[in-house]
Amino acid sequence: MTEPVTLADHERLAQERMDAGAWAYLFGGAADEITLRDNCTAWQRLQLRPRVMRPLSGGHTRRTLLGRELAHPLLVAPMAYQRLAYPQGERASALAAAVMGLGYVLSTQASVPLEEVARLAQGEAARGPLWFQLYLQPDRGLTRSLVARAEAAGYEALVLTVDAPVQGSRDQERRTGFQLPPGVAAVNLPDGVAMAAGGPGLCGGLAEHAPTWEDLAWLRSVTRLPILLKGITHPDDAHLAVEHGASGVIVSNHGGRTLDTLPATAALLPEVVAAVAGRVPVLVDGGVRRGTDVLKALALGASAVLVGRPVLHGLANAGATGVAQVLRLICDELEIAMALCGCRTLEDLGPALLQPRP
């Protein structure tokens, strides 16, 4: 194979290039990886019911999200330590997303300074929104400092991850004995900030610092940025998120990396959309490998879709160029699928386009 033409091609080539330990960390899942696999197959189980003879002139995939217009309803999901895949890491993936006019979410555990990523992305006039993903730190002063840095650098929203108070049981990592190599670190956090296990309480004391609704209230009090909650899987939590002032929710099972046997996000999305009832945007990630997957998510009520692992596959293959190709493939496939389903704009998408596979 000389040139990848699908996301699956990028995945195969990336695995050939990468160290086994880095591959296990970036692409492995929790326990038996049931949720990891189901995230992909759940989109495939949904079949499309296209309409024909509909006007398509002037069609587009634009969408406004939190006051910003995106050329396509896609963002790059937050992913840690991207320099494991490619030396330029988040520099390359953020630049590719910006050039494509798509949104980008930088992880708290990025391996490149958040200010540098922001400068690169902001150099592209047609870029999409730039958001900062946040893990609440036990030290509120450190959290406040991260938020202040993100605001000063020009990030436009905070994405608070709420579904990972402790790390999942990731067998692939343990089998390879994965450790971060020299030179790769969470450079936006002080050295030694990670908490050591072994203390009293649940999970060696780590669960003492799990985020709560009170923490969300505090966070809202120290920032002017909108806050989206990432990791919402239950409709009751979606309702509570809106009641507590979240500006959006992201349906996510952490890519199958935390709690195994959670349902796929395609299965979880409709109930969350119903619970939110249009009050705030609902986004979704997990298992997206085709433009048709994006179309299905939008038809189920998502405002936009975050793409994770495929971006890292492209990054490992060819840096920013590889990421741009992955994103271009998804966008092109989305446009093709919309035209073939008789949908001129995203507003034409709805549940009537879908049926479960028998």
Question: Which residues are identified as catalytic?
Answer: 254
CA distances from residue 172 to 20, 177, 196, 313 in whole angstroms, order as listed: 9, 9, 21, 18
160: amino acid identity, one letter:
L
CB 311 within 8 A of CB 62: no
Q: Which of the 8 DSSP states describes residue 26?
A: H
* Those residues with Cβ within 8 angstroms of residue 20's Cβ, 6 or more apart along the chain or in another chain: 176
Query: What is the rounded distance in angstroms from the CA atom of residue 342 to the CA atom of residue 52?
Result: 5
CB of 249 closer than 8 Å to CB of 243: no
Contact predicate 334/295, CB 8 Å: yes
Output the CA–CA distances (angstroms, integers) from residue 128 to 99, 256, 307, 312, in the order listed: 9, 27, 14, 19
DSSP string covering 272-321:
HHHHHTTSS-EEEESS--SHHHHHHHHHTT-SEEEE-HHHHHHHHHHHHH
